[in-house]
Amino acid sequence: MPTEFLQNDTLLLRAVELSDVDTLYRWENDTSQWATANTHAPYSRQQLWNYANDYDGNIYAHGSIRFIVCQKADGKAIGTIDIYDFDPANMHATIGVYISTAHRGKGYGVQALQIATFYARQCIGMKQLIAIAAADNAASQAMLVKAGYNHCGTLPHWLRSGNAHIYAATE
């Protein structure tokens, strides 16, 4: 696949590598993100090592694909973007982005979503992507709108957490 589908002037999306394990360990075990990530228990380094070691990026076989979001200038990993719950019969999926705390508010989430959305359309042939943000997370909602997603509904009681509603958007 040509790499121009996975980058812009600022960011590059790349495959998960074994060298990402410690970074993923920090991000996946950030309990402040668990409610929206539907995570209920910590990941071990061994689990993440196994994931990275076995990762093949085949969305048709696994129903998901994950990219590491990197700054193009220095290659530093600043987040992840996932396309998951892939339905190949109907060509739609859910997309989620995580940008590390130190890199939020700089437009990286918007750019990563735009790159991944373009990739999903051009390389996989996706017809629709849906993103989900907590109703009380105005920053995530604004990011989705800036990336070209439209509010398509509110899902009451979607997450079992302090959030009563979820904001759903589709591109």
Higher pLDDT, 156 or 90: 90
What mean pLDDT comes out for the span 10-33? 92
Q: How much is the pLDDT for 133?
A: 85
Residue 162 — very low, low, confident or very high, per pLDDT cuts 50/70/90? low
pLDDT over 90, % of the chain: 67
**Res. 10 pLDDT band, cuts 50 70 90:** very high
58: pLDDT strictly greater than 50: yes
Whether 24 has a pLDDT exceeding 80, the answer reads yes
**How do residues 104-160 score in pLDDT, each as one tens digit?**
999 999 999 999 999 999 999 999 999 988 877 888 899 999 999 999 888 776 665
Whole-prediction pTM value? Answer: 0.88
Angle 81-110-28 from CA coordinates, rounded to 5°? 30
1 — pLDDT class (breaks 50, 70, 90): very low
- pLDDT for 31 equals 79
29 against 84, higher pLDDT? 84
Neighbour order of strands in the sheet with 128-134: 11-14, 65-71, 77-87, 92-99, 128-134, 165-170, 150-156
pLDDT of the residue at 5: 79
Least Cα distance to 65 among 27, 116, 22, 23 occurs for: 116
Q: Is residue 59's pLDDT more than 90? A: yes
- d(CA 49, CA 51) in angstroms, rounded, equals 5
> In this predicted model, which residue has the larger pLDDT, 134 or 99?
99
- CA gap 38, 46 in Å, rounded: 20
Strand partners, 71: 11
